[in-house]
Amino acid sequence: MKRLSRYRRHKFAGPAVLLAALFTIGTTFSIATALPSQQRMEVSAQTTMVEEGKQIFARGCSSCHGLNAEGGAIAPSLIGVGAASVDFQVGTGRMPMADMSQQAMRKKPVYNEQETAALAAYVASLAPGPASVTNASLTWERDGNVAQGGELFRTNCAMCHNFAAQGGALSNGKYAPTLMDAQPKQIYEAMITGPQSMPKFSNNTITPAEKLSIIKWIKAAQNEPSLGGASLGRVGPVTEGLLVWTLGLGLLIGVAVWLAAKAR
Amino acid sequence: MSAKNRIASGVAGYVDDRTGAAKWLKKNLTKVFPDHWSFMLGEIALYSFIILLLSGTFLTFWFDPSQREVIYNGSYAPLSHVTMSASYASTLHISFDVRGGLLMRQIHHWAALIFMAAIVAHLLRVFFTGAFRKPREFNWLIGVGLVTLGIVEGFLGYSLPDDLLSGTGIRIAEAILQAIPVVGSYLSFFAFGGAFPGHVFIPRIYTVHVLLLPGIFLALITIHLMLVWYQKHTQYPGPGRTEQNVVGYPLMPVYMAKAGGFFFIVFGVTAFLGGVASINPIWLYGPYTPGQISAGSQPDWYMGWLDGLVRMSPPIETHAFGHTISWNILLPGLILPGILFTGMALYPFIESWITGDKREHHLLDRPRNVPNRTALGAMSLTFMMISLINGGNDIIATHFHLTINGIMWFTRIGLIVVPPIAFVITKRICLSLQRADRELVLHGKETGRLVMLPHGEFVEVHEPISAQKAWTLTQHLQPEALMVEGADENGVRNPAGLKGKIRARISKANAEQVAAPTLTEFKELEGGHH
């Protein structure tokens, strides 16, 4: 206190206080103004994406899903399905549908990644839902356990998708698709959103860590080498029976005809 | 006499002096067999059986038929540290850690499929050519026994690895067992030593698969072949071939060489398949747990028709006296196969009752000359094919973009509607072929050469066929209907009553034939006619 009172009357005291005050006010002001401006920029970018998504939606989706994604006679409401669902359906080319068949099939995506993200942002802006994921954010290679994934797959997925993830038939022309082309994020999103006939696997049913294991197993199945020769489609004994009657017995009967003909 | 011959005769004489084998061998080594590719189908089955014995023995060296739980620690990484039965783990061990193990497993499984396919092809040949007729009815019965046991043996064999697919098959077998009224659940408890899946089933079926059934097979195959030996082989009709002779080549050296060579070819084809095509990849199926199942679970092809029948069966159940009768399993799983196989076993006796034919037959029928039997065969085959299609309905649905329900309804209706259509069409085709044969004998074969006669008429030149061919086309027996329908020409009523009436009606249909040309007809036409 003594020091303060000693310099209070110093000739540089006034300018120093002024400088300090100006610096404080300036810094405070700059911080105070800088923060909201960055936020505003983010919000505005988000708004642009939602706007862009809304436009794409109006052009490509609204004829079936309704102008405000409220659904219609032939298509469900998309309010609350979340970005994950959009990313999966549009990213795998299933939406927009090519025709009104039993179920949307995987095809070449109609929209590019940016458009898909915009659509996802728009649908996510309608009501909260599961957020989309990226391939990079899924650490299945590091955290997944392939054997545990196999067990989980056989318990939860193989009944529809077949033991080697080759796909299988469901009732009335519906089917569980082959997973041979599925990307990690699509597998993850399918599990959390339950597209078409597929049930949802919430984080209580299959934890995120277990989901990574399943992804790791599916990726292993995609790269499974053909041990023991031609895989014959990995659909079980039907193709084996077909091969034995055509190639197997065909060859043997051919030889028998040859042997019997040689005698004459 | 050269030194070589002297030594050979010395050895032969030494053996003959002690066994008296020369006389027996001389008689049997010169035994004559007729030559035709279709006579080698049974051989394929026999050789596959030998391959099965050899490759199966190899597999038993490492296979552990136990449902004891183990934790896998072998080289197949996607299953490491998974809990599984010892039988599944040892099958993985054979596949990945035993030298040549996977190849042997695949040879064993392909050989089993070829074994069953060859048996079925052989059975069809015997049926359509009438080789089952007197005196060969017993051999037909043994054959029916072999095909039935073959199905069981194959099923037990692919059930042994205790993988997800085969466990599903055992579960269905358990359901069929349980569907037997009243005693079903007791039988199931007996077979599984308690509730499914238990710990005793794999060891039990192992004993049956490697000991009991192969033993029965060996015995039945031996009797089967001894009867062929004793009754002599049938032959296709042709010039110089009669009911009293066999035209062909002697066993030694022709058939010894042929059969020996053919064995190695069968082994070669089986090993080729085992080398290039994966079969029953159990490491992909995963170990069996009752809580898991895969889409598109199928049995091997020889069970496919049975699975198809079960899949198309409507959901009917009745409840009586505190018991549930599951017709939906009982009917397709037990009753229908029972009727089919009993009918097949009894067929030689049924046909002989219809035709009244009690003669011995060593000359085979050309299928067209027995239209009713051929049509019946085509009808049964159609029935089996439609069931088989439904057995693979899920695979067909996904690969041809069809609906599984559509396939099921197609086969449900088709199973009843299509076989009779196949019967009618086949019979018509047979009669048309008979008519074509008749044309061929009477008018010769068409040459495609058109000739203009002096008065302007165009005719096609027909070339007469050889006498040998004409004989082959006209030698067959012309069956006559049994004259027991209604009353005879004197108004005497058929004493056999309703049974006789039915017999007469079927025998009349059976005797429907295009008359084979006679010598008189042939001579009448010969004079200058085209």
Helices B336-355, B137-159: axis angle to 10 degrees equals 170
Report yes or no on B436 lying in a domain: no
Chain A residues in contact with B274 (beta carbon < 8 A): 229
Question: Do both B75 and B217 map to the same domain?
Answer: yes
Of B114, B281, B397, which is closest to A227 when you measure between CB atoms?
A: B281
A98 touches chain B (CB under 8 A): no
Quick one: average pLDDT of A183-197?
93
How close is the nearest chain A Cα to the Cα of B119, in Å?
11
Based on the fold, state whether residues A195 and A144 are members of the same structural domain.
yes
Question: CA-CA distance, A46 to A28, in Å (whole number)?
Answer: 28
Residue in chain B nearest A228 by alpha carbon: B278
Whether residues A128 and A60 fall in one domain: yes
DSSP string for residues in B131-184 = TTSTT-HHHHHHHHHHHHHHHHHHHHHHHTT-BHHHHHHHHHHHHHHHTSTTTH
Residue A116 lies in a domain: yes
Nearest-CB residue to A236 (from B79, B102, B296): B296
CB A263 within 8 A of CB B249: yes
- The whole-chain average pLDDT of chain B stands at 92
Work out the average pLDDT over B42-55: 97
Range from A44-48, A86-90, A146-150, B155-159 carrying the lowest mean pLDDT: A44-48
**Residue B405 pLDDT greater than 50, yes or no:** yes
The confidence score (pLDDT) of residue B287 equals 96
Task: For residue B412, tell me if it sits in a domain.
Answer: no
The reported pLDDT for the residue numbered A34 is 63
In a domain, A157, yes or no: yes
Chain B residue with CA closest to A233: the answer is B278
The answer on A88 and A47 residing in a single domain is yes
Sort out which chain B residues have CB atoms less than 8 A from A250's CB and list them.
none
Token reading at A50: 């939602």
DSSP-derived pairing of the beta strands B458-463 and B445-452: antiparallel
* pLDDT interval class at A1 (50, 70, 90): low
With respect to residue B262, please indicate whether it lies within any of the assigned structural domains. Answer: yes
Contact A229 B275 (CB under 8 A): yes
Indicate whether A127 and A149 sit together in one domain. Answer: no
Asked if residue B418 is part of any domain, the answer here is no
- Closest to A185 in 3D by CA, of A84, A107, A86, A259: A84
Single residue among A89, A104, A132 that ends a domain in this structure: A132
In a domain, B204, yes or no: yes
Closest residue of chain B to A231, computed from CA coordinates? B278
Structural domain contains residue B212: yes
Cβ <8 Å between B273 and A247: yes
Domain match, B498 and B354 both: no
For B414-530, list the strands marked E by DSSP: 445-452, 458-463
Residue A195 lies in a domain: yes
Cβ atoms of residues B111 and B48 within 8 Å: yes
Strand-pairing partners, residue B363, are B235
Nearest to A122 by CA among A206, A61, A185: A61
Confidence tier at B4 by pLDDT (50, 70, 90): confident
Q: How far is A260 from chain B (nearest CA, A)?
A: 5
For residue B415, being part of any structural domain is answered with no
A143 and A120 inside one domain: no
Among B308, B340, B365, the domain boundary falls at B365
Nearest alpha carbon to residue A228 among B502, B101, B141, B129 = B101
Whether B295 sits inside 8 A of A248 (CB atoms) is no
Please check whether residues B348 and B446 belong to one and the same domain.
Answer: no
Residue A160 is encoded by which pair of tokens? 């529809």
**Residues paired with B83 in a beta bridge:** B71
Provide the domain limits for residue B521: 442-526
Q: Are residues A61 and A127 in the same domain?
A: yes
Peptide bond into B290 cis (omega under 30): no
Is B451 in the same domain as B354?
no
Q: Which of A152, A166, A138, A157 is nearest to A231 (CA)?
A: A166
More confident residue, B181 or B58: B58
Among A74, A98, A132, the domain boundary falls at A132
- Where does a domain end: A114, A132, A150? A132
Question: What secondary structure, in 3-state letters, does A197-215 show?
Answer: CCCCCCCCCCCHHHHHHHH
Residue A121 lies in a domain: yes
Domain count for chain A = 2
Do B359 and B446 have their domain in common? no
A115 domain residue, yes or no = yes
Average pLDDT over residues B482-486: 66
A14, part of any domain: no
Decide if A16 is inside a domain. Answer: no
User: Has residue B267 been placed in a domain?
Assistant: yes
Clarify whether residues A139 and A175 are in a common domain: yes
Could you give the number of structural domains in chain B? 2
Average pLDDT estimate for B336-353: 95
pLDDT score for B482: 77
Q: Which of B78, B266, B279 sits opposite A240 (nearest CB)?
A: B279
| Same structural domain, A69 and A84 | yes
Q: What is the mean pLDDT of residues B177-195?
A: 93
Q: Is the peptide bond before B348 cis (omega within 30 degrees of 0)?
A: no
pLDDT of residue B235: 94
**Predicted confidence band of residue B507 (pLDDT cuts 50, 70, 90):** confident
Q: To the nearest 5 percent, what fractions of chain B are helix, strand and coil?
A: 65, 5, 30
- The answer as to whether A240 is a domain residue is no
Instruction: Tell whether A223 is within 8 A of chain B (Cβ).
Output: no
My answer on whether B346 and B477 are in the same domain is: no
Chain A environment of B385 (Cβ under 8 Å): none
Q: Are residues A120 and A157 in the same domain?
A: no
**pLDDT confidence tier of residue B255, bands split at 50, 70 and 90:** confident
Sign of CA dihedral B292, B294, B295, B300: negative
Q: Which of B350, B365, B380 is the last residue of a domain?
A: B365
Beta bridge partners of B450: B460
- Whether B403 and A151 lie within 8 Å, measured CB to CB: no
Same-domain status, A139 and A217:
yes
Q: Averaged over B125-132, what is the pLDDT?
A: 96
User: Under a CB-based contact definition with an 8 Å cutoff, are residues A147 and A100 in contact?
Assistant: no
Instruction: Answer for the pair B332, B310: CB distance below 8 angstroms, yes or no.
Output: yes
Of B365, B389, B419, which residue is a domain's last? B365
- ipTM summary value: 0.91
A164 and B284 within 8 Å at the Cβ level: the answer is yes
How close B207 gets to chain A, by Cα (Å)? 24
Q: Is residue B44 a contact partner of residue B125, using CB atoms and an 8 Å limit?
A: no
| CATH code of the domain in which B270 resides | 1.20.810.10
Burial (CB count within 10 angstroms: exposed 0-12, middle 13-18, buried 19+), residue A185: buried
Angle between helix axes A13-60 and A113-126 (nearest 10 degrees) is 100
State whether B395 and A235 contact (CB < 8 Å). Answer: yes
How many angstroms separate the CA atoms of B141 and B123, rounded? 11
Specify whether A186 is located in the same domain as A168: yes
Mean pLDDT of all residues in B227-253: 90
Q: With cut-offs at 50, 70 and 90, classify the pLDDT of residue A101.
A: confident
Predicted confidence at residue B530, as pLDDT, reads 46
Percentage of chain A lying above the pLDDT 90 cut: 62
Same domain, B310 and B454: no
The CATH number given to whatever domain includes residue A189 is 1.10.760.10
Helix (H, G, I), strand (E, B) or coil at B326: strand
Domain encompassing residue A50: 41-132
Instruction: With a cut of 60, say whether residue A37 has pLDDT above it.
Output: no
Note the pLDDT of residue A262. 59
A116 pLDDT higher than 70: yes
Across the interface, do A170 and B404 touch by the CB < 8 Å criterion? yes
Per-residue pLDDT of B71-120, as tens digits, reads 999 999 999 999 999 999 999 999 999 999 999 999 999 999 999 999 99
